[in-house]
Amino acid sequence: MSDTVGIVIVSHSKDIAKGTADMVRQMVGSEVKVAYCGGNPDGGLGTNVSLIIDAINDAWSSKGVAILVDLGGAETNSEMAVEMLEQERRKMVVVCNAPIVEGAVMAATEAAGGSSLEQVRAVAEELSAG
């Protein structure tokens, strides 16, 4: 079986991140790797670059990783996490411009069919395109 694009969910809230990951696993299945992170180390709201890097590593696939984020800092911290990866892995990770829950489910559905990272991103972003 060929590898599928991995999905990373980054929310300010660990509960939202976990709930979104649960939805993806239940709706799409287990053939797509899904990792999530949310909250700051004190248990409050926030996002954290090193936790995002861990999640990217957990969801890593030879086809790359698509990240879904919620608000502001989740996006900038995700971009920072990508910048901190080894150079050859950076271009294999994208931050999708899509609503976190819907985007994650649709990206994972597309990924499950073996699609490329660009196709997965395009499907997730189709939602914001209206």
Partner 1 sequence: MLETSANEPFVTGKVRLLHAAGMHARPAVKLTKLAKRFQAQISIRASETADWINAKSVAKVMAMRAPRDSTIEIKAHGEDAEAAVAALISLVAADFPEASA
* Segment near partner 1 (CB under 8 A); pick from 14-22, 45-53, 58-66, 110-118: 110-118
Nearer to partner 1, 82 or 107 (CB): 107
Tokens of 22: 């649960």
Least Cβ distance, residue 28 to partner 1 (angstroms): 6
Decide if 12 is catalytic: yes
Contact 114, 2 (CB under 8 A): yes
Site string for partner 1, 23-62 (x = CB under 8 A): ----xxx-x-------------------------------
Tokens of 16: 């939202």
Nearer to partner 1, 21 or 106 (CB): 106
- How far, in Å, CA of 115 to CA of 100, rounded? 20
Residue 122: alpha-carbon gap to chain centroid: 14
Least Cβ distance, residue 130 to partner 1 (angstroms): 11
Tokens of 68: 């879904």
- Helix (H), strand (E) at residue 118: helix 117-126
| Closest CA relative to residue 66, chosen from 57, 56, 77, 76 | 56
Least Cβ distance, residue 31 to partner 1 (angstroms): 7
Q: Applying CB under 8 A, which residues contact partner 1?
A: 27-29, 31, 105-106, 109-110, 112-115, 123, 126-127
Catalytic machinery residues: 12
